[in-house]
Structure 1
Amino acid sequence: MTATVHPLRPEKPSLKPLMALVAPGLNAVNRVILERMQSPVALIPELAGHLIAGGGKRMRPMLTLGCAAALDYQGERHHKLAAAVEFIHTATLLHDDVVDGSDLRRGRATANTIWGNEASVLVGDFLFSRSFELMVEDGSLKVLKILSHASAVIAEGEVHQLTAQRVVETSEDSYLQIIQAKTAALFSAACQIAAVVSEQDDATEASVEAYGRNLGIAFQLVDDAIDYVSDAETMGKDIGDDFRDGKVTLPVILAYARGDEVARKFWQRAMTGRANGEAELQEAIERLHSTGAIADTMARARLYGSRAIDSLSRLPATAARAALIETVEFAIQRAY
């Protein structure tokens, strides 16, 4: 089914409706997170707390809580599961920053910069383990299957991205497979488990899973675009970080495919790290705009965002559903 491309609201969308909706539940989730990241080994809560308290929006656990509200779930199982989702996400961030050699996340020094790569990897492993403890405590094999599968898919996506790094000939289809794995898998799982704990039918479960998956793809595509048009104050990282790291994201894939021989040689030099200084970054930005690569990446994000909104059509028209819809609009329009 072709998605309807929904017109974006004239005022700037916000996460505030979702945050207000889930505030009591998120307080419960934060209590679980604080409790479960404790350890007699002092470095573990110190390092984990640095990242967990680092200004993240808790987007993924908020999606678990928001979908549960939209499905009128009245229990509390989703609190521990939302914490498990956040632990999975935090663990992947710790590992990603080591792999990428990043020194800044959300405007703060990364854990690996402060404590070193070894500690970051091991604390990431600890958080993964905590997430599985929470899943097992829930007692649902279906929940365990969904979240454990998502964890495996995320790891596959990260390895796939590593093999594609600096390979400027990467296809759009291959790149979409990467972001569906490394980003969208946890978004979809976070939403799907809300349907499981609220004992929804298969069609409703599939609807919220599709919502999360398409939102996750849209979210990552927007990240790809604004890496070339935003700034550290807005994004918590410097403009062009993907460019300097040789990450072949969709804007680069599109610009390379549309370029002449001169342009393709430029992208090959830049993505392999032979010429990726500030002058080359400015040239890259100009080429991305002149080929329409940024605009078309955003157009694809809007398409996946519309698919996410369409997926909610089975849900009753409540304030919770409206908040989930505005969350999609926020994801697409942020930093603009």
Structure 2
Amino acid sequence: MGIVIPLEEKSSERLIDRLTALVATDMAAVNQTILSRTGSDVGMIPEVANHLISSGGKRLRPILTLATAGLCHYSGEGHIKLAASVEFMHTATLLHDDVVDESNMRRGKLAARVLWGNEASVLVGDFLLGQAFKMMVEVGSLQCLDVLSSAAAVIAEGEVMQLSAAKDTATTEDAYLAVIRAKTAALFAAACEVGPILAERPKAEIAACRGFGANLGIAFQLIDDALDYGGSSAKLGKNVGDDFKEGKITLPVVLSFRRGASVEREFWRRTLEQGEVRDGDLEIALATMKKHRALEDTIERARHYGAMARDSLELFPASAWKHALLDAVEFAISRAH
């Protein structure tokens, strides 16, 4: 019961090719930094860290750090360590999230918690956060350290907010958006902000890059929410319907619950709040979402935030970097196709 969204004839994968080509040299340095910083005399640390780091994620967040630095004509090397820091922060949150959500799959592989246990996943996540902050200090920009450390605090707040709202079908759209602004958009925003800070650009350009990242992050997460019900396992790196089975309240659920009749609301309460999922319930959930246009409207909201991300870059003159970043917005949204 997938949804078909008309888009340009470029596949979503090709949309990000221009950006990955522009950052290829810098990204090789970031990857080398990541490998060297996961080293430890404690054998389990590189084992657990590399299981996730090497599992084929697109590394979009560190790519954005490199690209916004390029957009702002930064010529130093500090962006390499900051990009690696961003990836470590992201990896740490994934390790922690899988424990909180009791997830079994991540990027198409068994989650680290399944292979090494919850304790190892949490502690290796903490190690990666420590390494991230160490690299930030080495770069020597107090402003960048402030931006990324503030993001780390906001992400943790978002995780607690999500935990508080877990299985709560009374969650409003505004409350849900507040969670993803903290959990997802905060790191996208910080990743895009540190490049122009290093390049010592005017406040307006720094704010524009931050706005670009924040809105792109919201759009990215909303598409992920839609894909969980209308995508494929290959695109997700996990099973379709995992959010449903884990009782996660995401925007498609919020919209379906609000628009549903009393019998439909009772269905969501039984499956998500009480965790009573029976055979055929996922199909009922999909049919209910289709009836109330919940997936289409989630994607429309993602398009709205994508448009705001594109508007943020209007401040910058035309360049290969700008065009590639605009493509990245379309990439984030076209994954729903």
For the 8 Å contact 1:244–1:273, the answer to whether it is kept is no
**Matching residue of 1:3:** none
Deviations 1:258-280 (A, max 9, x none): 11111111111111244323411
Q: CA RMSD in A?
A: 1.1
Paired residues for 1:239-318 under 5 Å: 239-318=240-319
Deviations 1:175-198 (A, max 9, x none): 000000000000000000011001
Instruction: Provide the rounded CA distance (Å) in 2 between the counterparts of 1:16 and 1:178.
Output: 30
**Matching residue of 1:139:** 140
- Residue 9 (structure 1) shift: 3.8
- Residue 138 (structure 1) shift: 1.1
**Matching residue of 2:183:** 182
Paired residues for 1:6-155 under 5 Å: 9-13=8-12, 14-155=15-156
Residue identity over aligned pairs, in percent, reads 53
Instruction: Provide the rounded CA distance (Å) in 2 between the counterparts of 1:316 and 1:64.
Output: 19
Instruction: Provide the rounded CA distance (Å) in 2 between the counterparts of 1:273 and 1:244.
Output: 11
TM-score, length-normalised on structure 2? 0.96
Deviations 1:236-294 (A, max 9, x none): 11011000111010010011101111111111111124432341110000000110111
**Matching residue of 2:225:** 224
Instruction: Provide the rounded CA distance (Å) in 2 between the counterparts of 1:277 and 1:64.
Output: 44
Instruction: Provide the rounded CA distance (Å) in 1 between the counterparts of 2:314 and 2:7.
Output: 17
* 3-state secondary structure, aligned to 1:320: helix
Instruction: Provide the rounded CA distance (Å) in 2 between the counterparts of 1:309 and 1:50.
Output: 34
* 3-state secondary structure, aligned to 2:23: helix
* 3-state secondary structure, aligned to 1:275: coil
Q: Where does the alignment leave 5 or more consecutive residues of structure 1 unmatched?
A: 1-6
One-letter code aligned to 1:60: R
- Residue 235 (structure 1) shift: 1.0
Stretches of 4+ aligned residues off by more than 6 angstroms:
none
Aligned length: 330
Q: Does residue 204 of structure 2 align to residue 237 of structure 1?
A: no
Deviations 1:62-111 (A, max 9, x none): 00011111112111110000000000000000000111111111110111
One-letter code aligned to 1:11: K
For the 8 Å contact 2:247–2:275, the answer to whether it is kept is no
Q: Where does the alignment leave 5 or more consecutive residues of structure 2 unmatched?
A: 1-5
- Residue 335 (structure 1) shift: 4.5
For the 8 Å contact 2:84–2:132, the answer to whether it is kept is yes
Instruction: Provide the rounded CA distance (Å) in 1 between the counterparts of 2:109 and 2:42.
Output: 24
TM-score, length-normalised on structure 1? 0.96
**Matching residue of 1:211:** 212
Deviations 1:127-162 (A, max 9, x none): 000001011111111111100000000000001001
Instruction: Provide the rounded CA distance (Å) in 1 between the counterparts of 2:336 and 2:27.
Output: 24
Instruction: Provide the rounded CA distance (Å) in 2 between the counterparts of 1:289 and 1:308.
Output: 28
